């Protein structure tokens, strides 16, 4: 039995289809939207449509942007000799929030995953290699996730780039802040041990 009318149910269903949004959250969001003034709802719908129609890949780093080059790549104050390779634009945003990294990025839009039929040609690797040939890059920092796919991708990129004489580094991984040693897997513990620093 449908609790609300067709249009309201459709709105709830569409919101519930978004990642991380359950049915109850979708209902709350739907009723919030319905209680907004008409001009606010129009601004929201216009923002969604405009973002969808105008979003494209940055010509240099492949992140999503609405211009030819994203704000990070166009910033001349950034260190363009250092490229951090990330899996997706959300990872790039996470590093930008920290505010410590001053280089530029390269967004792969995925990882190598033979089990899922995703090979090197299915992610943005050829664009990375082209960048390395065009620019004076001194270091590539591989910041893929510490998953099987992330590790596979990191090893592949490393083997691809190292012969060119470019320094390849991998972000450290280990115990999270507030994590318990006893509940941590062996690989993470070994990485934490190997990546120890002097105090």
Query: What is the reported pTM?
Result: 0.80
102-121 pLDDT tens trace: 999 999 999 999 899 999 99
H-assigned helices in the chain: 6-16, 23-35, 38-54, 71-74, 89-98, 125-134, 148-161, 186-194
84-94 pLDDT tens trace: 999 999 999 99
Give residues with Cβ within 8 angstroms of 55, minimum separation 6. Answer: 64, 65, 66
Upper half-sphere CA count for residue 40 (Cβ side, 13 Å): 6
Tell me, what's the pLDDT at 2?
61
Burial of 8 (0-12, 13-18, 19+ CB in 10 A): middle
Q: Quick one: 80 and 160 in the same domain? A: yes
Q: Quick one: 90 and 166 in the same domain? A: yes
Domain region containing 80: 64-170
Give mean pLDDT, residues 44-53.
94
Separation in Å, CA 139 to CA 97, 105, 166: 22, 11, 6
Q: Quick one: 87 and 165 in the same domain? A: yes
Residue 186 lies in a domain: no
What is the DSSP track for 167-193? EEEE----PPTT--GGGS-HHHHHHHH
Q: What is the CATH number of the domain that holds 165?
A: 3.40.1360.10
Q: Quick one: 78 and 143 in the same domain? A: yes
133-167 pLDDT tens trace: 777 899 999 999 888 898 899 999 999 998 888 99
Check if the beta carbon of residue 60 is closer than 8 Å to that of residue 72. no
Q: What is the CATH number of the domain that holds 40?
A: 1.10.8.420
Q: How many domains does the chain have?
A: 2
Whether pLDDT at 178 is above 80:
no
Work out the percent of the chain whose per-residue pLDDT is above 70.
92
| Measured distance CA(56)–CA(63) in Å, rounded | 8
Query: Chain-centre distance of CA 66, in angstroms?
Result: 17
φ/ψ of 132, rounded to 5, equals -65, -35
Residue 21 lies in a domain: yes
Q: Quick one: 45 and 77 in the same domain? A: no
């Amino acid at each position: 039995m449908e609790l609300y009318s067709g249009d309201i149910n459709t709105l709830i269903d569409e919101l519930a289809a978004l990642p991380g949004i359950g049915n109850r959250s979708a209902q709350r969001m739907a009723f919030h939207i319905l209680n907004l003034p008409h001009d606010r709802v129009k601004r929201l719908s216009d923002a969604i449509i405009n973002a969808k129609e105008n979003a494209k890949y940055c010509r240099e780093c492949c992140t999503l942007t609405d211009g030819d080059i994203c704000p990070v790549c166009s910033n001349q104050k950034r260190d363009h000799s250092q490229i951090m390779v990330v899996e997706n634009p959300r990872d790039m945003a996470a590093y930008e929030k920290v505010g410590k990294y001053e280089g530029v990025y390269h967004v792969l839009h995925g990882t190598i995953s033979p089990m899922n039929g995703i090979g090197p040609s299915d992610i943005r690797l050829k664009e990375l290699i082209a960048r390395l040939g065009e620019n004076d890059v001194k270091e590539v920092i591989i910041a893929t996730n510490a998953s099987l796919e992330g590790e596979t991708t990191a090893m592949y990129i490393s083997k691809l780039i190292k012969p060119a004489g470019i320094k390849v580094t991998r972000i450290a991984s280990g115990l999270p802040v507030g994590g318990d040693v006893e509940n941590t897997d062996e690989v993470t513990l070994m990485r934490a041990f190997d990546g120890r620093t002097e105090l």
